[in-house]
Amino acid sequence: MWINNIHTIFVLLPFLRLKFLKVELLEELIENHKKFSKMVVKPCAEVKGEVTVSGSKNSALPLLASALLVEELILENFPLLLDTLYALKILKILGKDIELNPTLKRVRIYGEIKRIKVPYELSSRFRGSILFLGGLLGAGGKAVISHPGGCAIGARPIDQHLKFLSHLGANLTLKGGYINASLPKEVKNSNFVFDVVTVTGTENALLTLAGLEGEFTLENVALEPEVFDLLDFLRKLGIKILTHGRTLKISVPPKGGLKRRLTHRVIPDRIEAGTFLVLGSLLGNPLKVSGLNTDHLGVLLEKLEEAGVTLKILTPTEVEVFRSLPPKGLFIETAPYPGFPTDMQAQFMAMLSVARGSSVIVEKIFENRFQHALELVRMGANIKIKGNTAVIEGVKKLVGAPVKATDLRASASLVIAGLIAEGQTEISEIYHLLRGYEDMDKKLTFLGCHAELI
């Protein structure tokens, strides 16, 4: 009996520790991510084996904001990244309790909201913080938040978010750098058309409407898989949502008609999946990328095949990719989903730097998203930028050099370039990578490459 009790204690110890050290664990994980400033990457002859894709950052963030709508939310397949850890810290500041199990990739968020202000110190760290505007409004009708931070890839205005709220009749004021928002007792308008397609704008509107009663229509909405993951969650909550093209018909039941406790699994990160597929196209011998969703990767798989890369779709969650050196040149134009994602153009630019012939990338989403091109040029790439167009002439090889990660996806492109270059590459400002890629260094090491955080 005594031995059995001891065994039980050791089995339960990690969970007991999480129960009593919730805040400490969260802070420890944040500090562990923040302590690294560089990544050293050395040439990799091949990547062979299997890599598993983590949960989607861009799906987890709106789901974390939606935790404000319920008494308890359990998220599975939860990615441990700087952005998601900062979001958990915001929830903690707002009054929620957090239980995090890094081993199981599971987080439990519960308790009541005690505050409605998201401090600048956290909202300025990542773009997804703006989603707490919708989460707080949906939960209680009031929110105070500063302008979000994130990657310096363009203006990224939140005018559509505020225009939607004004359309509802919300009271909006700007004071001391903070947006103060409160919803009216009665909504003025139930139909809204976005001027441009915006992912976080669509998500914020959905989170806000979840706290209102009645019938609503949103037009010209974003169709990204991450938006549909939020739609699936809201349907579980009890909200009826019909989709027709870029139009959503939303029916919210009266107060008390929504579920208060939910469990939801975060979808796979399609951008991480695409990043490893690009790496496999250069070094795979072969590389199996598992845990993905092929339905989310249509245009990426098409472009890789157009470049001459050999792909084998083993199952809807597994793709095997073989290296194709050199790949063929491509023409790429970024566009809202289901078009080519802006979040993948940097990784493709690294691949096309060593492709046969010329390639052209036209960036139609953000006006300042070619900063990584200058860093690739430092490694020997032949890239010329004119406005929103990059022309890439393939070279035989890249050469390792000290470079700087200018944004999240730029950091991934430099890692890829470093792995195929001659000599060592040292990437500074690596916190960008840690904001959006979970255990990238460990996954690359497992595949036989040298990628060390320092």
| Catalytic center residues | 151
Nearest-5° Cα angle at 87, 86 to 88: 90
Q: How far apart are CA 153 and CA 155, in angstroms?
A: 7
Q: How far apart are CA 256 and CA 387, in angstroms?
A: 52
Residues 6+ apart with CB under 8 A from 302: none
Cβ atoms of 414 and 432 within 8 Å: the answer is no
Q: How far apart are CA 350 and CA 353, in angstroms?
A: 5
Cβ atoms of 155 and 134 within 8 Å: the answer is no
Q: Dihedral (C-alpha) 438, 441, 446, 451: value to the nearest 10 degrees? A: 160
Q: Cβ of 11: how many Cβ atoms within 10 Å?
A: 9
Cβ atoms of 128 and 61 within 8 Å: the answer is yes
When computed from its CA atoms, the radius of gyration of the chain, rounded to whole angstroms, is 22
Q: How far apart are CA 80 and CA 25, in angstroms?
A: 12
Q: How far apart are CA 195 and CA 163, in angstroms?
A: 10
| CA dihedral over 173, 179, 185, 187, signed as positive or negative | positive
Helix, strand, coil abundance in the chain, percent, nearest 5: 40, 25, 35
Q: Cβ of 308: how many Cβ atoms within 10 Å?
A: 16
What is the phi-psi region of residue 203: left when phi exceeds 0, alpha when psi lies from -120 to 50, beta otherwise? alpha
Q: How far apart are CA 37 and CA 431, in angstroms?
A: 7
109: which strand partners?
73, 98
Cβ atoms of 86 and 130 within 8 Å: the answer is no
In a 10 Å sphere around its CB, with 0-12 CB exposed, 13-18 middle and 19+ buried, how is residue 250 labelled?
buried
Q: How far apart are CA 390 and CA 161, in angstroms?
A: 31
